[in-house]
Amino acid sequence: MKKIDLDLGYAVAKDNIPINILQRPSFRQWIHSAVPGYKLPGIERMRYKIIPDIVHTTRDKLMKIIKESTSFTIILDIWSSKSMMGYIVLPAMPSPKHSSDTPSFLVDLCVTKPLEYWKSNQCRFPILSEIGRDAVSVAASSGSVERSFSVASDMLSAKRAAMKPDLFINLMLIKCNAGLKVGLRDAV
């Protein structure tokens, strides 16, 4: 996959650009003028290939961070969208094993059915899934969670109300972990 495609996918997620911009004649003309010969990806390729590839790379990077951590601070909050679809956000701050100067990263997991998520992932995360199932009933709040809500409400604006849940989750994963610079370097 071309780096320019990944950069475009990353911009769509990070900067909250509607995917349908890829169909707009003025945007297509601008890209053609700026990068002659570049074939702009279509909506289907962006939605089903480019963004999932960036998500996969982001998840791999997050799993590496998680595996290299000795402990986590986990905060739980639950909210619902305007369409009353429920979401749970678990921001986790890993504490690195190796050195105190290694930066910590905020890991946001957006899960639409938390009990099902923890049940299906109990083999991967036996202790964390037990805590997650217990914690689902306890809502807490923090600045990082409030920022996630703000990002989510911006992403689910009236113009993007028809967005599918899987695309929303993928875009949130990329945007909330933009500090990892995944998709610009690692996915190439």
Each of the 188 residues of the chain gets a pLDDT tens digit; together they read: 689 999 999 999 888 888 999 999 999 999 999 999 999 999 999 999 999 999 999 888 888 877 777 666 666 566 666 666 666 666 666 655 544 443 333 343 445 566 777 788 788 777 777 777 766 655 445 566 667 777 777 787 777 778 888 888 888 888 877 776 554 444 43
Reduced DSSP (H G I as helix, E B as strand, rest coil) percent helix, strand, coil of the chain, to 5: 55, 15, 35
Number of separate domains in the chain = 1
Which H/E stretch holds residue 170? helix 165-176
Show the domain range for 86.
3-180
Cα-Cα-Cα-Cα dihedral sign, residues 117, 154, 142, 173:
positive
Kindly report the pTM of this predicted structure: 0.56
Residue 94 lies in a domain: yes
188 within domain boundaries? no
92 in helix, strand or coil?
A: strand
Cα 94 from Cα 72, distance rounded (Å): 5
**163 contact partners, CB below 8 Å, separation of at least 6:** 155, 156
Instruction: Let me know if residue 186 belongs to a domain.
Output: no
Is there a contact between 42 and 27 (Cβ–Cβ < 8 Å)? no
Q: Is 185 part of a structural domain of the chain?
A: no
